[in-house]
Structure 1
């Protein structure tokens, strides 16, 4: 039985044709690796507040309301008003009520306000290679590391190498050559100069002033004398 082949894997979906992906709900893009922001739709899926998550979304209510069993609508509850939650509350099974925090936040010690979860503490696997994690309140973003800039490749966003030598953002000496590397660059002094590449001096200037003074005094001592005339 023949199976469709996709040279680039479908991250959140399945291959349905030659290099064609069918994305799972909540994802889009040629490789199904782009999150769909359901909260940005014209017809908002939540009756009160909406928080986008990776591949999905979550509804939560204004203070004084509780999230219904359908997960979308909010209803007023007298018990919620008494809790004075920062974002809203939810009715648990058995009639108990507790404060509710959006994704990316957790309940503080007072069980009313919400504190941020630092997703960047999970480690290097949070973001793709060449990107670094930057925490935000309730979420995080992956930005290009130093030496890389955002660009597009085959319709997808990628962090590509920034050629500091080409755009002139390097700090090499005018007597040095700039050599681009992946994510950085190096400076090499030109022939006839020495130094670390950012500061280059003529090779002949390597003699210290003390050495030059010594050579001068030595030349005075060894200077031939003229024969005296009688």
Structure 2
């Protein structure tokens, strides 16, 4: 192309101008590499497939695989949240025993009160106590057990005497006398 006092070179489609400003060479094409998401042509004309952030180039050098940002990274998410991998990224979700809500004028994971919302597994003969991220169960005064299962206590017996009675009942069995032949 003629310019005032000089000229400038342009290349036909499918070719690109070399750094000398006057030589045209065939432009390498990304389509020949069959890249999954796109490619980059380096200054020597070599085609290299590219992957988006959160993905890495697979062994076939054409397709992209997900990077698991949660693997081995314990401090990716703030306290009370756990990392959940997604394709090309990750999410921080509330840990078990916590729910998303407003706490001190900001949205964060707060303790879920299983006792208040009746999602606990305590016996109906026990009392539920909320703890941070969980709960505990304790049998009522007239009941024994682990809080999840409670059974009535006998009013006149202590735990010790109930235990001893149980052990004795397993040991002692009626002795059967051998029958004597009748004459």
Q: TM-score, length-normalised on structure 2?
A: 0.69
Q: What is the correspondence of 1:1-230 to structure 2 with a 5 Å cutoff?
A: 78-204=28-154, 208=166, 211=169
The ranges of structure 1 where at least 4 consecutive aligned residues each deviate by more than 6 angstroms after the TM superposition are: none
CA offsets 1:16-75 (integer angstroms, 9 cap, x no match) = xxxxxxxxxxxxxxxxxxxxxxxxxxxxxxxxxxxxxxxxxxxxxxxxxxxxxxxxxxxx
Q: Number of aligned pairs?
A: 138
| Structure with the higher fraction of residues in helix conformation | 1
Distance, in Å, in 1 between the alignment partners of 2:30 and 2:93 is 39
CA drift at 1:209: 11
Question: 2:137·2:146 contact (CA, 8 Å) conserved in 1?
Answer: yes
Instruction: Name stretches of at least 5 consecutive residues in structure 2 with no aligned partner.
Output: 1-26, 175-183
CA drift at 1:154: 4.4
CA drift at 1:208: 4.6
Q: 1:83 to 1:155 in 2, by over 3 A?
A: farther
Structure 1 vs Structure 2 CA RMSD: 2.3
Q: TM-score, length-normalised on structure 1?
A: 0.55
CA drift at 1:93: 3.2
Distance, in Å, in 1 between the alignment partners of 2:136 and 2:103 is 26
Q: Secondary structure at the match of 1:124?
A: coil
CA drift at 1:155: 4.2
Distance, in Å, in 2 between the alignment partners of 1:99 and 1:140 is 23
CA offsets 1:92-145 (integer angstroms, 9 cap, x no match) = 233222000001100000000001100001321010110000001111000000
